[in-house]
Structure 1
Amino acid sequence: MSDWLTPDEWTAVRLSLIVSTTAMLASLPLGIAVAWLLARGRFWGKSVLDALVHLPLILPPVVTGYILLIGFGRRGPIGAFLYDWFGIVLSFRWTGAALACAVMGFPLMVRAIRLSIEAIDRKLEDAAGTLGANRFWTFATVTLPLCLPGIVAGMILCFAKAMGEFGATITFVSNIPGETQTLPSAIYTFTQVPGGDAGALRLTLISIAISVAALFCSELLARIVGRRIAVS
């Protein structure tokens, strides 16, 4: 691949994989918690939480990126706090790209996990409770293993969304080669310069290959998890 792609193109591919993987893994713990709250929780404001979680799917990605820039930029309330106290800078950094991708992919992850949890028979969880298990132990030993296929699907959806995210990323962290230029940004750059069709085509083929591989891995992992659950 290094002979087929230029160093800048290879950097964009590697950065996209790093950003997408980071976004997926960083979203997972919160995604599972929020999915469980929406599936099993009974509290005031549940509909508000549901709306907030799915808001990135409704808003234009550029709007989401601008909100992130206002909140997490160096002069934003959250960004200024992170910089002053921890020296963390997100805007115009690859970590900011990961944050933007995580925000955009989070609703898809939560929805997949939530549907998986809602499909679990409540009687199994109730039985664990009658045997003395508290809520956390019931979730860890009953709910979590049974919803693993949904977790795998949610992770892959989040990863795929992160790989293809453009609007929120370029608005929040710009399009800096070697720092924030992911695959979509690099493809867009190639389409704006004369003679860039070949580079855009190469990166497009790479994007397709990665997406197909992600879907294949998702199907394979789902089958493996499903078989283990059936055996147990």
Structure 2
Amino acid sequence: MDVVPLLLSLTVALTATGLAALLGLPIAALLAYRRFPGSDLVDVLFTAPMVLPPTVLGYYLLVILGHDSRIGGAFESLTGTPIVFTRTGAVVAATIGALPLIIKAARAAFESVDVRLLAAASTLGASGPRRFFKVALPLARPGIVAGLALGFARAAGDFGVTLMVAGDIPGVTRTGALSVYNAVAAGRDADAASTAGALTVVCGALLYLAARLGRGGRPT
């Protein structure tokens, strides 16, 4: 079994989950606590990656981030490397896949916080940011952690979008999921089984750890 795709999957998934959390948590809080013109459109926009076929989503990302696009061209001018068909492309693909799951879970967690607790904190003189960080965020933590775990699992298992945006380059963009596909296509059943099993164990262990952290370490 080649461990490089597994390590790449882990690295890409962790990076993508971190980026999705940085983007998704503020968006989730905004959608949960503020109504503004276009909020429904924002919700639909960030939900779309969950329902679009992976090839369609990958095509849109190629158009937006490709060599001839403004974003892709600007990135390549600044860094000297393109976004698509690189490890950066794999991270972008995984981030787009994880983002809606994190937003949905975090928004539901924020909305589940008892507004009376926030009101009580306000009467005690707590500012808006203080109410958020001292009351809402700690109470929403289990739901947020669950969303992060789901986002990680989604990022680690992405196939279609990654294949479209990053390609299947051994040692560069071939993740565990792509490695399983290639092993099956080549008739290497043992390699496919071992890689699939390793991915299952890693994702399962991290999901279990996330669940424990979400409960504050309390046993079931």
* TM-score normalised by the chain length of structure 2: 0.94
Which residue in 1 is equivalent to 2:179? Answer: 186
Q: State which of 191, 195, 207 in structure 2 corresponds to 1:215.
A: 207
Distance 1:142 1:223 in 2: 17
Residue by residue, what CA displacement relative to the aligned partner does 1:49-88 show, whole Å, maximum 9, x if unpaired? 1100100011001111111111112221211111223445
Alignment partner of 1:224: what SS?
A: coil
Residues 186 and 220 (structure 1), Cα distance of their counterparts in 2 relative to 1, 3 Å cut: same
RMSD (Å) for aligned C-alpha atoms: 1.5
Please tell me the residue identity of whatever aligns with 1:100: A
1:28 aligns with 2:21: yes
Residues 135 and 86 (structure 1), Cα distance of their counterparts in 2 relative to 1, 3 Å cut: farther
* TM-score normalised by the chain length of structure 1: 0.90
The equivalences for 1:74-85 within 5 A come to 74-85=67-78
1:196 aligns with 2:192: no
The equivalences for 1:1-232 within 5 A come to 5=1, 9-87=2-80, 89-193=82-186, 195-224=187-216
Residue by residue, what CA displacement relative to the aligned partner does 1:147-192 show, whole Å, maximum 9, x if unpaired? 1111111110000001111000000010000000001111111111
Alignment partner of 1:50: what SS?
A: helix
8 Å CA contact 2:94, 2:162 repeated in 1 = yes
8 Å CA contact 1:149, 1:225 repeated in 2 = no
Distance 1:81 1:69 in 2: 14
**Displacement after TM superposition at 1:89 (Å):** 2.6
Q: Which runs of 5+ in 1 are unaligned?
A: 228-232
8 Å CA contact 1:149, 1:226 repeated in 2 = no
Residue by residue, what CA displacement relative to the aligned partner does 1:92-120 show, whole Å, maximum 9, x if unpaired? 11121111011011111111111111110
8 Å CA contact 2:212, 2:218 repeated in 1 = no
Residues 48 and 39 (structure 1), Cα distance of their counterparts in 2 relative to 1, 3 Å cut: same
Distance 2:146 2:88 in 1: 24
Distance 1:75 1:226 in 2: 52
Runs of 4+ with deviation above 4 angstroms: none
Residues 190 and 27 (structure 1), Cα distance of their counterparts in 2 relative to 1, 3 Å cut: same
Between stretches 125-134 and 181-190, larger displacement belongs to 125-134
**Displacement after TM superposition at 1:134 (Å):** 2.5
Please tell me the residue identity of whatever aligns with 1:45: G
**Displacement after TM superposition at 1:225 (Å):** 6.0
8 Å CA contact 2:17, 2:148 repeated in 1 = yes
Aligned length: 219
